[in-house]
Amino acid sequence: MTSWNIAKYVMSPRIWAVAGFGVAQGVLVYVLTDVSIWAAATAAVLSSFAITIAGAAVFTSNRQLRVGHLEPHDASIEEFFYVLKWNVAGQLVDANERYLERIGYTLEELRKLPRHQIDDENASLSEMWPLVRAGKSWSGEFCDQAKDGSLVWMSAIVVPVRDAEGVLQSLTTVGVDVSDKRRAQQALKEANSRLQAFVKHAPAAVAMFDSDMRYVAYTDRWLADYSLGTADLTGRCHYDVFPEIPEHWKRKHQRILAGAMERCEEEKFIRADGHENIIRWEVRPWYLPDQSIGGMMMMTEEVSERNKIRDELWRLANLDVLTSLPNRLSFNELLFNEIQFAQLTSASFAVALLDIDRLKEVNDTLGHDVGDQMLKQLAARMKDALGGIGKIARLGGDEFAVLIRGQDKEIAAAFDVIHEALEKPLAIGGTRRICTISVGVTKFPQDATTAGELLKSADLALYRAKSDGRDRVVHFVPDMRRALRRRVELQQEARHGLESGQFILHFQPIIAADPKRPVSFEALLRWKHPVEGLLTPGLFEEVLDDPRLASSVGSYVIEMAIRQAATWMAQGKEFGRIAVNVLSADFTIGCLATRLQATLARYHVPASKLCIEVTERVFLGGGVTNIADAMHRINALGVEVALDDFGTGYASLTHLKAFPIDRLKIDRSFVQDMHENHESLSIVKAIVQLGQSLGLRVTAEGVEKYEQFVLLQSMGCGSFQGYYFSPPRGAEDLVNFDAGDLSERRPAARAVG
């Protein structure tokens, strides 16, 4: 059958009724219902072959038209193809209706336009014209731009048309629209590009292997984690890259290639060069389109550094930095667990609070470094002396706590060994000193049955031991409660002072590292006592042991702080927030969130102008669920929540997860000696980094020197507070306060108390 007869047969109506499912191209109809059915190369071959046949048919049609032998239905080829005719100069002469309809131009408009085909990377139009003018056919793909701006891709053949004498008369282009194919190819190309970029730059160490453990793909993180530089691993065997892989791993790989999935949370991998990786990994098979296993995919995470950070944060949260003993938080947890155990077993135990006698004298005469060395040596001696008899913790400063199981005999034996250990002189600061301790002891269940009551009873006994001359052990007795009478009297005076306006607020500026941010202020309570004079909270802290009085004072402070914010706003003073300290009592009496919301509304102060500061003492009492609910309500109002005195031993990372904390405030004790004490410096850095990792703002308290300010700035600390900038002042003295040029600021004089 000749080419023309083949084309003629294909163009019959009967065949075209079937071909409606695909695209007719000459003598072939191929159906593309999915991009993956035909390989691009195969489709291109079929397309070119069909167009070649169609072109031959057009050539025959042209010849028959010239001699008057073209049958009417032979012209129907133009109904299914784009057909264009050109003169030998390359000027468009004619185009069929199908092409004109798709391109959007009239024939007259096209004739006036320059040739505007867009060259394809696989077919050079610049090579086409010399070729066809020489009488040779050309096939390929090119792109026209339609009138509406869209691109029309055409797979075409250009055929020279000669007269009977063989003279070139014109050129005929016959093509089919392959725009959909092109768009699909482009979409696939873009998808592959995105996938490759994702795989290459994914923030995880991932590698794919074939069934022979040869590398198929891998991420940049894989190269980085295993120190492979920029090596090209594609095609290389995993076992050649890492010959040190143990045999039990290889056996796991074979199970995975058989369809299993393996994972390990933490495993050590020692490389041939001695480098050690602690990795968490997961390995699973990957599948080919026919669902057979093509190989395996390995995902690993290098957790060595993460483990170091985790261990360091645990140490900071649970151990005292100086002595490495359990801190207050750990001791509270130990005490809570011991109470539960004793209640179940009817056991008894003792809790003792220990103070190092006259440690302040050592600090004042020999310096804090010597005092720290003394504390470390004493802690080590007491821990070694107790052995398995009891547990010891450092609560802070010179205060330690001991838990001892047993009756009076065991308790006495424990303090005998401690006393014996402390009889040996300590070599500190070029001197030899014998240190003594004051001890207050209380017993469960005779004296108290809760952690709070036990510690309070032990504290009363310790107070008596120190009052009686130190260097002694005193057991709690009920008569000690009479010592509380003065405290009660002071509380009565405080109630009167609250009613008569003796309590006032001073404000200390909080300076942001970003000079564009306005200054915030912390509201600090002062008591203008008619006899004692101006008292700071440290001098009347015991007054606030009464929850109702503490709540009344807290409400009064909140009211005054918000009222002052309203005053400053009315005066046009720019400021960030006013921070207010709240106690456990503020959460236990009434709804703190409701009170805050009502007070803010009464003074027309936005919630964003207020910050509440809490210490983790708030979380150590009862009613934690109610406190958590209140804090979430406060946070929902838009009030900032700051965790004060962070790092002093109360800090627990679980609190950062359980409570809506916005800001961490680094305790002044770490800031003040971070230049001289490496441990303090490490704590400050860790807290700043922790805040940055968790998206929390960080404020450093107790900044008194320019050098401290500069060092904190270099760590990325967000804001600063301390006498370097300003002491606490009355509101009237801060109306025109300006942070000014911090580089030239010198510390302000510290007020006594």
pLDDT digits (tens, 9 = 90+) for 736-748: 887 765 545 555 4
The Cα–Cα gap between 158 and 591 comes to 86
How many C-beta atoms lie closer than 10 Å to residue 374's C-beta?
21
pLDDT at 750 over 70: no
Query: What sign has the CA pseudo-torsion 98, 102, 108, 111?
Result: negative
Side-chain-facing half-sphere of 635: CA atoms under 13 Å: 15
Q: Residue 683 is encoded by which pair of tokens? A: 């704590």
How many C-beta atoms lie closer than 10 Å to residue 328's C-beta?
21
Residue range 148-176: mean pLDDT, rounded: 88
pLDDT at 712 over 50: yes
pLDDT of residue 76: 57
Most confident of 138-142, 200-204, 390-394: 390-394
The Cα–Cα gap between 510 and 342 comes to 47
pLDDT in tens, 363-408: 766 788 888 999 999 999 999 988 888 899 999 888 999 999 988 8
Nearest Cα to Cα of residue 118 among 154, 149, 142, 139: 142
CA dihedral 305, 306, 308, 312 (to 10 degrees): 140
Q: What DSSP string runs through 536-605?
A: -HHHHGGGGGSHHHHHHHHHHHHHHHHHHHHHHHHHT---S-EEEE--HHHHHSS-HHHHHHHHHHHTT-
Q: Residue 290 is encoded by which pair of tokens? A: 């026919």
pLDDT band at 491 (very low <50, low <70, confident <90, very high): confident
The Cα–Cα gap between 533 and 504 comes to 13
Phi, psi of 211 (to 5 degrees): -70, -15
Query: What sign has the CA pseudo-torsion 179, 181, 183, 189?
Result: negative
**Start-to-end Cα distance in the chain:** 113
Residue range 706-712: mean pLDDT, rounded: 94
The Cα–Cα gap between 394 and 375 comes to 10
Nearest Cα to Cα of residue 715 among 739, 678, 743, 690: 690
| Structural domains of the chain, ranges and CATH numbers in brackets | 3-175 (3.30.450.20), 202-302 (3.30.450.20), 318-476 (3.30.70.270), 501-744 (3.20.20.450)
Cβ-in-10-Å burial (0-12, 13-18, 19+) of 12 comes to: exposed
pLDDT of residue 70: 34
Q: Where are the beta strands (DSSP E) in 163-275?
A: 168-177, 205-210, 215-218, 262-270
Helix 706-715 with 678-694: angle, nearest 10 deg: 40
The Cα–Cα gap between 238 and 211 comes to 11
From residue 638, give the alpha-carbon distance in Å to each of 401, 577, 603: 40, 12, 16
Residue range 621-638: mean pLDDT, rounded: 81
Could you give the residue ranges of the DSSP H alpha helices within 278-327?
304-318
How many C-beta atoms lie closer than 10 Å to residue 446's C-beta?
12
In sequence order, what are the beta bridge partners of 665? 699
In sequence order, what are the beta bridge partners of 298? 207, 283
Phi, psi of 238 (to 5 degrees): -60, -35
pLDDT of residue 527: 93
**Cα 133 to the center of its chain, rounded Å:** 67
CB 579 within 8 A of CB 523: yes
Which range, of 122-126, 416-420, 504-508, 553-557, averages the lowest pLDDT? Answer: 122-126
Nearest Cα to Cα of residue 675 among 418, 413, 448, 368: 368
Helix 547-571 with 485-499: angle, nearest 10 deg: 30
Q: Where are the beta strands (DSSP E) in 122-167?
A: 138-145, 151-162
pLDDT of residue 289: 87
Most confident of 226-240, 332-346, 412-426: 332-346
Nearest Cα to Cα of residue 5 among 49, 83, 61, 67: 61
pLDDT at 23 over 50: no
Q: Residue 339 is encoded by which pair of tokens? A: 């109470």
More reliable by pLDDT, 314 or 339: 339
In sequence order, what are the beta bridge partners of 123? 120
The Cα–Cα gap between 570 and 598 comes to 19
Strand, helix or coil at 729?
Answer: strand
pLDDT in tens, 538-588: 888 778 777 788 888 999 999 999 999 999 999 999 999 999 999 887 887
Phi-psi region of 387 (alpha: psi -120 to 50; beta: other; left: phi over 0): left
Contacts of 219 by beta carbon, 8 Å cutoff, 6+ apart? 199, 200, 201, 202, 204, 205, 206, 207
Residue range 105-112: mean pLDDT, rounded: 89
The Cα–Cα gap between 602 and 590 comes to 18
pLDDT in tens, 249-272: 899 999 999 999 988 888 887 776
Average pLDDT, the chain: 82
Question: Tokens 């075409």 sit at which residue?
Answer: 156
The Cα–Cα gap between 641 and 612 comes to 5
pLDDT band at 306 (very low <50, low <70, confident <90, very high): confident
Q: What DSSP string runs through 619-679?
A: HHSS-HHHHHHHHHHHHHHT-EEEEEEETSS---HHHHHHS---EEEE-HHHHHTTTT-HH
More reliable by pLDDT, 484 or 503: 503
Nearest Cα to Cα of residue 674 among 750, 642, 666: 666
pLDDT at 226 over 70: yes
CB 434 within 8 A of CB 687: no
DSSP code of 148? Answer: T
